Amino acid sequence: MNKLLTANIWRLAIVLFLQLMLLKQISFDLSILSYMQFLIYPVIILMLPVKLDRTLTLLIAFAIGITMDMFYDSPGVHAAATVTTAYLRPFLLAWMEPYEGYNVRESPTIEKLGFRWYAVYLAALLLTHLLLYFSIEAFSFVFIGDIVLNAIISFIPTYMIIMLGMFLFKPVN
């Protein structure tokens, strides 16, 4: 097994463990904080190599999403949001591509592409994922206020956890 595959398998295992065994258990009953959910698992999709085959990326996203659905008792909600996020990822990567281009085998990280680039990339895809997730969960735009509130209140701590993780653990490429 090569170093990149091993690193991504470990990343998958650690993030899924944290999501399912730790972050899933956290809930707040205080007014506006009751909307907060910690959903860090999309970082797995965001950290896949830039030029990974699109079909493989979508299959990985589906497997991650359906795993989340099994543990969260939410039939298809996580899977749909994760697959859609994985589908949109190449468009954002193409739009944000640096002048010198991407290294085919590298994962997008702060070290490789810079803090500003990564901060925008993470914010765009994470907010998209959260809006999709809460929209599918509500299954009606009648609740658009709750959808946006859920997304924003969940976005802030999730974004901070992921960025902190990127600084502390320096992902391997």
141 vs 136: CA distance, rounded Å = 10
Residue with tokens 């009606």: 140
User: Per-residue DSSP letters for 103-164?
Assistant: -TTPPP-HHHH-HHHHHHHHHHHHHHHHHHHHHHHH-SGGGHHHHHHHHHHHHHHHHHHHHH
* Residue 93, both tokens: 């990567």
pLDDT higher than 80, residue 10: no
Q: What is the pLDDT of residues 49-85, one digit of tens each?
A: 888 899 999 999 999 999 889 888 888 999 999 999 9
Domain that holds residue 53: 3-169
pLDDT higher than 80, residue 121: yes
Q: What is the pLDDT of residues 18-53, one digit of tens each?
A: 777 766 666 666 665 556 688 888 988 998 888 889
152 vs 64: CA distance, rounded Å = 23
Residue 146 near residue 91, CB atoms below 8 Å: no
Give the number of domains in the chain. Answer: 1
Residue 12 near residue 44, CB atoms below 8 Å: yes
The more confidently predicted of residues 120 and 33 is 120
Residue 47 near residue 107, CB atoms below 8 Å: yes
pLDDT band of residue 159 (cuts 50, 70, 90) is very high
Give every CB contact of residue 166 below 8 A, 6+ residues apart in sequence. Answer: 109, 110, 118
User: What confidence score (pLDDT) does residue 54 get?
Assistant: 92
pTM listed for this prediction: 0.85
The more confidently predicted of residues 163 and 26 is 163
